[in-house]
Amino acid sequence: MSESNKEEIQVQPPEEFTGGKFYKPKQTSVGKEAITSSLKHMNTYMKKGDALKLSLKMNQKGGFDCPGCAWPDPDDERSKIGEYCENGIKAIAEEASSKLLKADFFAQNSVQEISKKSDFEIGKLGRLTEPMVLREGKTNYESISWDDSFKLIGDSLNKLSSPDEALFYTSGRTSNEAAYLYQLFVRAFGTNNLPDCSNMCHESSGVGLSETLGIGKGSVTLEDIHQAELLIVMGQNPGTNHPRMLAAIQKCKAQGGKVITVNPLPEAGLMRYVDPQSPKKMLTGGIAVTDLFLPCKINGDVAFLKALMYELHKMDMERSGSIIDYDFIEEHTSGYEDLIKQIRDIDYMACIRQCGIEPKQIREAAQMVAKNEKIIVCWAMGLTQQENGVDNIKEVVNLLLMRGAIGKPGAGTCPVRGHSNVQGDRTMGIWEAPKEGFLDKLEEVHGIKAPRKHGHAVVPAIKAMHENEAKLFFAMGGNFLSATPDTEFTAKALQNCDLTVHVSTKLNRSHLVHGKTALILPCLGRTDIDQQSAGEQFVSCENSMGVVQSSQGILNPPSEHLLSEVKIVAELAKATLTDSPIDWDHLADNYDNIRDVIEQVIPGFEDYNKRVRQPGGFYLPNGARERKFNTANGKANFTITSLPDHSKADDEYIMMTIRSHDQFNTTIYGLNDRYRGIKNERRVVMMNESDMKAAGLKIKDVVNLTSEFNGKTRQVNKFLIIPYPIPSGNVATYFPETNPLVPIDSFARKSLTPVSKMVRIRIHKTNG
Ligand SMILES: Nc1nc2c(c(=O)[nH]1)N[C@H]1C(S)=C(S)[C@@H](COP(=O)(O)OP(=O)(O)OC[C@H]3O[C@@H](n4cnc5c(=O)[nH]c(N)nc54)[C@H](O)[C@@H]3O)O[C@H]1N2
Ligand SMILES: Nc1nc2c(c(=O)[nH]1)N[C@H]1C(S)=C(S)[C@@H](COP(=O)(O)OP(=O)(O)OC[C@H]3O[C@@H](n4cnc5c(=O)[nH]c(N)nc54)[C@H](O)[C@@H]3O)O[C@H]1N2
Ligand SMILES: [Mo]
């Protein structure tokens, strides 16, 4: 393809409005409208019989794992009529789409023409049905056989001057079995270049928790949530992104539990909730979820937590040491003295200014923390996608440790994970920075030589492509272009590659912004039957609370040409590695064989094949849950952080990029954000009314947005201003439309997570 042609490919969604209507944000989530909305999605996008079949099997013991979020299923009784939520239904309606995307569509539409469509339209084109190739210099994708696809990739990989010139991305839907085989292939090939969506998601949690508690995962179970006396929900919007969490919160509240919410926005799901399975509650308007709402400014969390600990310490002094758990601290922790010295001396008013929460409310929160023993902090992207993302997590841990609220029933850490198997993928070794012990085991069990040099995470991977140091990009799922920061920069990086390959269920923009040659390899989804030579297979996934369970699809695959991700990896390995000691066919023919080797390599998977067949699966070991801290000093560590830098120019605003109620990451289910009162429009800037007034802006004014970072200005055009209850100086927009504004060099210290929740921007009014 010529340079000029390349430039015409639309890297960003079209700058077009869809006709938005704006209402007051809702106070209540779920209820009748959620049911209507999910039924509508099922009926519009799926075959009738399939919809019913799927909804009865979703998240049931022996059924399939919802391909949406990673919220766990109840260990005990599961609701017969449906252990799922509105957004789970949308996720399966999207995957089990009745529409098929066939080769003739690609023959009739050039890549450039397809790129003019919106992400919503691209997603609705239907399931991919056969392998497609875009040959160098051509404008359209065309059919290619599986054999030729594997040969093309294998030859390209073997032509690289070093295995480190290849990058192997993973999105978090990949099953344990596929993820294990994939990383095994990548390491047998010779690189640790395994960037994954976790790098953009909960990496800060992993880093922060490992350093302080010795395990990169949360410590609580679902039962702990039910039993908690106090839940603190920070930087998370469960009503939209983890709707089934609301049922767990409801159970907790029914037993007397209290909820503190720390969020710049009064998210509907956290204010009131109506259980869709309780008709009575539906009539009465549901229950209040949040007992204390703290409207924190964006990235005010470190300041808030420090002020909270200051109040707790003060209270402890006044009440002769009865608030802080000194016995726990003495026996299990290190670093308390240093922490308390810092807390005692903090500039309290600086903390108050930075978080924007009134001292009175902080004291109220401190009273609640002091009064309750069983405390859980839940969090998601509001805390992790910050420059100080790791520090946020460390301060959460400091708070819990002060109260001894870890490793006992009803207490602990709860990072609420995103993709349905993102946690399992990491357990399986999808990680650019693997531990030596893990690599030793791979060598011992498989007879390969595992590379020791750490590989690239997402941000360094983009830079490596940008600088021509990496030339082949392979993605196991996901939408790398649109999910990553600095869209224009990333687009150039991908376009620099000799070959880009995507294993996918649906078409997305990453397939359109391609290397010199590009391949799309269509695969089975979670809901599809997976037939291999040893018979029908199931896979397994690990949820947010470390439970591993099986998942088996029940629908006939939409096309006979689809392969499972496991099979794709095995065939790719055979086409690439000429002299491999691994019997790839043996592993792919029967997934029990993969689980047998996982059991030998990864601790906690003893009797994997047997235990994964138990209804409900099994729990992985979790040291923090038992007060066994696998840190260098064997203790839980208090740590010291400093207040984040909030400096900005007078005319700058702090922007967070968030999800609407009608999307799953870059997959746009629809154009509404019902709970926030936004209808039929995604190109919006939610802004405080007094800020609007001060800037001379009115509702529906059309604006362009710029962000300036290290002397470079980035810009997106055509957004509508809407008034919203958000702290002054803060604004909110949707991901991925504003990803072009997130600078590639703005990432979290230590975890390298792009700072998607604190982008300094300017707002420029246009003439419409
Ligand atoms: N339906 C649906 N479900 C999903 C997803 C989806 O896109 N759609 N995505 C999945 C994935 S991969 C993930 S990671 C999770 C994401 O789940 P969330 O983290 O809940 O998703 P976000 O929309 O990024 O929301 C971040 C929340 O943090 C708040 N916030 C932003 N900045 C700050 C801050 O500085 N401090 C505090 N205290 N709060 C802040 C925002 O107001 C918002 O409520 O959801 C998973 N589940
Ligand atoms: N600005 C900003 N950027 C963000 C975020 C943010 O909050 N703000 N959030 C970040 C977060 S938390 C995450 S997790 C990332 C998400 O980044 P990704 O995981 O890369 O993105 P997704 O949109 O989840 O990927 C969707 C695509 O996955 C493919 N797919 C779906 N199911 C399957 C399957 O079963 N197998 C295969 N092989 N493919 C499948 C489909 O083709 C679909 O188009 O984005 C990050 N980017
Ligand atoms: Mo995520």
Annotate 566-622 with three-state secondary structure.
HHHHHHHHHHHCCCCCCCHHHHHHCHHHHHHHHHHHCCCCCCHHHHCCCCCCEECCC
Chain centroid offset of residue 279 CA: 32
Q: What is the pLDDT of residues 341-365, one digit of tens each?
A: 999 999 999 999 999 999 999 999 9
Report pLDDT for 284.
54
Candidate of 378, 425, 543, 659 to mutate for ligand 1, largest count of ligand atoms within 8 Å of Cβ? 659
Report pLDDT for 81.
47
- Asked if residues 140 and 134 have their Cβ atoms less than 8 Å apart, the reply is yes
Question: Which residue type does 746 have?
Answer: S
Which residue's CA is the closest to the ligand 1 atom numbered 30?
A: 382
Question: Per-residue DSSP letters for 60-89?
Answer: STTSB--SSB-PPPPSS---TT-S--HHHH
- Asked if residues 679 and 20 have their Cβ atoms less than 8 Å apart, the reply is yes
Q: What is the mean pLDDT of the chain?
A: 93
Q: Would you state the torsion angle of the CA atoms of residues 335, 336, 339, 344, taken in this order, to the nearest 10 degrees? A: -150
Grouping H, G, I as helix, E, B as strand and the rest as coil, residue 414 is strand
Q: How far is the CA of 406 from the centre of ligand 1 (A)?
A: 24
- Per domain, the residue ranges of the chain are 203-415, 649-765
171 lines ligand 2 (CB under 6 A): yes
Grouping H, G, I as helix, E, B as strand and the rest as coil, residue 230 is strand
pLDDT at 34 over 80: no
- Joined together, the tokens standing for residue 195 give 């960037």
236 lines ligand 1 (CB under 6 A): yes
The secondary element (H helix, E strand) that includes residue 559 is: none
Q: What is the pLDDT of residues 593-631, one digit of tens each?
A: 999 999 999 999 999 999 999 999 999 999 999 999 999
- Asked if residues 379 and 235 have their Cβ atoms less than 8 Å apart, the reply is yes
pLDDT at 384 over 90: yes
Candidate of 167, 174, 665, 738 to mutate for ligand 2, largest count of ligand atoms within 8 Å of Cβ? 665
- Asked if residues 365 and 292 have their Cβ atoms less than 8 Å apart, the reply is yes
200 lines ligand 2 (CB under 6 A): yes
- Asked if residues 93 and 69 have their Cβ atoms less than 8 Å apart, the reply is no
pLDDT at 77 over 70: no
Q: How far is the CA of 173 from the centre of ligand 2 (A)?
A: 9
Q: What is the pLDDT of residues 533-562, one digit of tens each?
A: 999 999 999 999 999 999 999 999 999 999
CB under 8 Å to 257, separation ≥6 — which residues?
228, 229, 230, 231, 249
Candidate of 362, 426, 656, 660 to mutate for ligand 1, largest count of ligand atoms within 8 Å of Cβ? 656
Report pLDDT for 89.
79
Separation of alpha carbons 573 and 567, rounded Å = 10
- Rg of the chain over CA atoms, in angstroms? 25
Q: In the beta sheet, which residues pair with residue 521?
A: 503
Q: Any idea what DSSP says for residue 57?
A: H
Which residue's CA is the closest to the ligand 2 atom numbered 20?
A: 478
Bond into 736 cis (ω within 30): yes
**Phi and psi at residue 20, in whole multiples of 5°?**
-70, 150
Percent of the chain with pLDDT over 90: 85
549 lines ligand 2 (CB under 6 A): no
pTM of this structure: 0.96
Q: How far is the CA of 268 from the centre of ligand 1 (A)?
A: 13
Question: Which residue type does 91 have?
Answer: A
Q: How far is the CA of 329 from the centre of ligand 3 (A)?
A: 33
pLDDT at 281 over 50: yes
Q: What is the pLDDT of residues 132-174, one digit of tens each?
A: 999 999 999 999 999 999 999 999 999 999 999 999 999 999 9
**What residue has token string 């003495």?**
330
Q: In the beta sheet, which residues pair with residue 760?
A: 654
234 lines ligand 1 (CB under 6 A): yes
pLDDT band at 1, cuts 50/70/90? very low
CB under 8 Å to 383, separation ≥6 — which residues?
204, 205, 234, 235, 301, 389, 392, 393, 396
Which residue's CA is the closest to the ligand 1 atom numbered 46?
A: 418
Task: Give the C-alpha distances (Å, rounded to integers) separating 455 from 167, 184, 193, 440.
Answer: 9, 14, 4, 17
Q: How far is the CA of 422 from the centre of ligand 3 (A)?
A: 8
Q: Any idea what DSSP says for residue 523?
A: B
The residue ranking higher by pLDDT, 27 or 565, is 565
pLDDT at 280 over 70: no
- 649-765 has which fold? Barwin-like endoglucanases (2.40.40)
Task: Give the C-alpha distances (Å, rounded to integers) separating 752 from 196, 253, 599, 744.
Answer: 12, 37, 31, 10
505 lines ligand 2 (CB under 6 A): yes
pLDDT band at 3, cuts 50/70/90? very low
Report pLDDT for 92.
78
Average pLDDT over residues 422-436: 97
Ligand 2 atom closest to residue 565's alpha carbon, by position in its atom list: 38
Q: Any idea what DSSP says for residue 214?
A: S
Percent of the chain with pLDDT over 70: 95
Separation of alpha carbons 436 and 607, rounded Å = 24
Q: How far is the CA of 397 from the centre of ligand 1 (A)?
A: 20
Candidate of 30, 69, 423 to mutate for ligand 1, largest count of ligand atoms within 8 Å of Cβ? 69
Q: What is the pLDDT of residues 87-130, one digit of tens each?
A: 777 887 777 777 999 999 999 999 999 999 999 999 999 999 99
Report pLDDT for 93.
78
- Joined together, the tokens standing for residue 514 give 């391609």
- CATH number of this structure's domain 203-415: 3.40.228.10
Q: Any idea what DSSP says for residue 754?
A: B
Q: What is the pLDDT of residues 295-354, one digit of tens each?
A: 999 999 999 999 999 999 999 999 999 999 999 999 999 999 999 999 999 999 999 999
